[in-house]
Amino acid sequence: MGKIKITQIRSAIDTSLRTKRTIRALGINKLQVPVIKEDTPAIRGMIQKVKHLVKVENV
């Protein structure tokens, strides 16, 4: 499996609790601070749920 870099680009303030928890589960703490994760189907599913808030790049 490869790695992907996930960066939050929009705020999660006015979103549902489920969305906020998904962002936290991805390990994102602040805007514009990237995290690197393994490219697994579970991570891809979480990214799909918050795709309007994050930017994803291959590493």
Give the model's pLDDT for residue 13. Answer: 95
Give the model's pLDDT for residue 24. Answer: 97
CATH topology of domain 3-58: Ribosomal Protein L30; Chain: A, (3.30.1390)
pTM for this structure?
Answer: 0.92
Give the model's pLDDT for residue 1. Answer: 78
What is the residue extent of each domain of the chain?
3-58
* 15-59 per-position pLDDT tens digit: 999 999 999 999 999 999 999 999 999 999 999 999 999 999 999
Tokens of 16: 């549902």
